[in-house]
Amino acid sequence: DGGITQSPKYLFRKEGQNVTLSCEQNLNHDAMYWYRQDPGQGLRLIYYSQIVNDFQKGDIAEGYSVSREKKESFPLTVTSAQKNPTAFYLCASSRTGLLETQYFGPGTRLLVL
Amino acid sequence: AQKITQTQPGMFVQEKEAVTLDCTYDTSDPSYGLFWYKQPSSGEMIFLIYQGSYDQQNATEGRYSLNFQKARKSANLVISASQLGDSAMYFCAMNTGFQKLVFGTGTRLLVSP
């Protein structure tokens, strides 16, 4: 079955530590995205990538970094510069083109110790 | 700037009844897409239905239909014959070009027996 996987399901970060969230898709989609969700709020775009080796900042990119070395993978690193990282992180993918539907993974919940 | 407004923080409905979840949007782009997603307590965002700005007819997907009123800039989701499994958060979202989705704050739906 095609889909999007995210790991781990829960992640704990210590102060000053960088952590990496994994996102893999086998839908053969060119575009991938990272969103952040805070309690009681909608999703906000962190980064997105329309093609391998290229990515753009979203609305809240500060304190985050990404890479896109393979079509199937779009890992997100939460750096120590992100002062309020506790949130639910969702990865999505879509075909490229105007107004394409984005499909989401199960999410990773990041907690700060 | 694009904006999605969901004014109902919570809605209650009895099993087998229909329910309407409100969504209004704001954009100056003539071409846009409107999406509804369901987020159960597990966290995954599940795509439900899509409406394009140039679509002449309201979108339908099984028990879901989208009441699209372009002049009023509204895109309400109608769920017919509610089921207990419909209890979840529901998000309205919009994109106006290549990939960036803007989300509302969501409506929590509770279906009672």
Lowest mean pLDDT, pick from A9-18, A71-80, B39-48, B104-113? A9-18
β strands within B7-98, DSSP E: 10-14, 19-21, 24-26, 33-39, 46-52, 60-61, 64-69, 74-79, 88-95
pLDDT at A74: 98
Question: Nearest CB to B98: which of A44, A98, A107?
Answer: A98
**CA–CA distance, B71 with B24 (Å, rounded to integer):** 11
Q: Please identify which residue in the block is written with the tokens 């999703």.
A: A43
CB A77 within 8 A of CB A19: yes
CB contact under 8 A, A99 and B103: no
Question: Is A4 in the B-facing interface, judged by CB distances under 8 Å?
Answer: no
Q: What is the nearest CA distance from A93 to chain B, expressed in angstroms?
A: 9
Question: Chain B contacts of A40, Cβ < 8 Å?
Answer: 105-106
pLDDT at A1: 66
Quick one: average pLDDT of B17-46?
Answer: 95
Question: Chain B contacts of A88, Cβ < 8 Å?
Answer: 43
Return the H-helix or E-strand segment holding A25: strand A19-25
Q: Please identify which residue in the block is written with the tokens 């992640």.
A: A11
**CA–CA distance, B13 with A1 (Å, rounded to integer):** 34
pLDDT at B74: 97
User: How does pLDDT run across B52-69, given as a tens digit for each residue?
Assistant: 999 989 999 999 999 999
Alpha carbon dihedral A7, A92, B39, B9, in 10-degree steps, equals 120
Q: Could you say which residues of chain A have pLDDT below 70? A: 1
What is the overall mean pLDDT for chain B?
A: 95
pLDDT at A92: 96
**CA–CA distance, B78 with B61 (Å, rounded to integer):** 10
CB A10 within 8 A of CB A107: no
pLDDT at A41: 84
CB contact under 8 A, A106 and B47: no
Question: Is B35 in the A-facing interface, judged by CB distances under 8 Å?
Answer: yes
> How many CB atoms within 10 Å of residue A37?
22
Nearest CA in chain A to B31: A99
